[in-house]
A and B are shown apart, each in its own frame.
Chain A
């Protein structure tokens, strides 16, 4: 499958050539497949946030290249803004970045900057707000009068309004309750489907990653430790643990059952897949008990 975004031998140093120089990424080469939901996991300080800020040109690699559709995004540095419209980045706790007088104006900020007409901007605002589940009646309120969950949605809508080909989010579900997490992450999958877009997001919840992603990238101390499908990654529990992470609880349950003689396939890591496999093994006898 084609890579929509690719990092080729990317390194990044913060405060380069000062006594505070710190290498955040070291020779990272990784491809993000078009049309996939790709998750990025890694311990605090592993380089996740640095990496996502490379993807839309917010940070420029100290070494190496970032390729969007095969083209180096830094080939013409003056045109980097157009990359930022195509690769939409939602930062951590994006609700702290709401700033305008109304929710409507806030969501419309990017499309207006893209040079779209008022009519087109208004249409995009309505579409994005509806997509994240913000009702029309909230659009004329101040963003500061919204609840925490609503603010998060408004901030994400502000990026969706650009209709980016690639949507990148840094911990979009952090701090939300289980239902809020499901809603936001479910919407991301929906965006991918409806817009045939690619989605890349960071999370510390291995359970969410197993449930919502097709592929995973595991970072460890600024380097790529693993990349592959969710099942491939969570198969290797030992390697995951070596990076300071865990596999989802249900993957461990499946693994222990298999070791105890239950013939389950390898690589199961969601409640749905484990229960489906178990039912096909046991289910026929289930009602007979």
Chain B
């Protein structure tokens, strides 16, 4: 069984009322444990609704959803709901809204303490989680003394301390400066690589999405694309049609191809690939010189 299995899942806000708004329609997909998935889509496409279904903040109005081996339904016992939430942690957009305590270590301890983790283990979990995100030196600091990227890493530590199998990042890099963004990206990739935690990263930054192993594109509440970054970003015109774009390297190659340089590959993702492809084309036209 996959870690997440969605079969024809729909979600409508205010279902059954005149104000009902369909946010997700007929989503069918599976996500395996240890995957690193990016989710793209325009504002209002249903990305965050999807995220909220995964840890039962919302329940599907139609279709069948199972998360971490539990079938999601309104009849679920409270114990089962908490069992799922313990497996699927969420990190949100605004770091300031996620701090609950007056020191970093108390903040990280909040989640596991509520799970009833006893004392020697609690301290171990907190220090382990802080070490994992590179924030051990700040354990006794007040959250307001931290930068945006540091606050997000503390929020991530608070989730890790509950030992989830999956973490959903809902635009967790949107409010950060470039360094903060790369700190959070490095942290999520380390968790995936070293601890096998399933990562679901919702973002508007194409460069970030290109680093995942798989990209899901949601458009107007429906699954629009699902594939590797290379597959997804080779479909430039379709992405543009739903308000998205390519990475800058991809955009450059795409422009050059449109202008007639058909020998360039259409699936360049990274800076390295882009530089190599253009150099190859340049040397081919200059008789292999330089």
Task: Give the B-binding residues of A (Cβ under 8 A).
Answer: 42-45, 147-149, 174-180, 204, 206-207, 244-246, 248-250, 252-253, 256-257, 260-262, 271-272, 274-275, 278-279, 281-283, 285-287, 289
Contact = CB atoms under 8 A, between A and B. Distances in A.
Nearest to B180: A44
A150 to B, nearest CB: 10
Nearest to B206: A178
A137 B136 CA distance: 54
B279 A257 contact: yes
Interface of B: 41-44, 93, 147-149, 171, 174-181, 204, 206-207, 243-245, 247-249, 251-252, 255-256, 259-263, 271, 274-275, 278-279, 281-282, 284-285, 290
Given A204-B176, A245-B178, A253-B274, A178 B245 contact: yes
B207 A283 contact: no
A43 B252 contact: no
Given A206-B178, A244-B179, A281-B282, A176 B260 contact: no
Contacts of B255: 271-272, 275
A209 to B, nearest CB: 11
A42 B43 CA distance: 26
A35 B252 CA distance: 30
B43 A176 contact: yes
24 contacts: A43-B178, A44-B148, A44-B180, A147-B43, A174-B174, A176-B43, A177-B244, A204-B177, A204-B181, A244-B179, A250-B248, A252-B271, A253-B271, A253-B275, A253-B278, A256-B271, A261-B290, A262-B290, A271-B252, A279-B256, A279-B259, A279-B261, A281-B282, A282-B285
B177 A43 contact: yes
Contact of B43 (A177, A245, A250, A274): A177
A287 B271 contact: no
Nearest to B174: A175
B177 A253 contact: no
Contact of A178 (B174, B243, B278, B281): B243
A248 B252 CA distance: 12
Contacts of B282: 257, 262, 281-282
Contact of B204 (A178, A257, A279, A289): A178
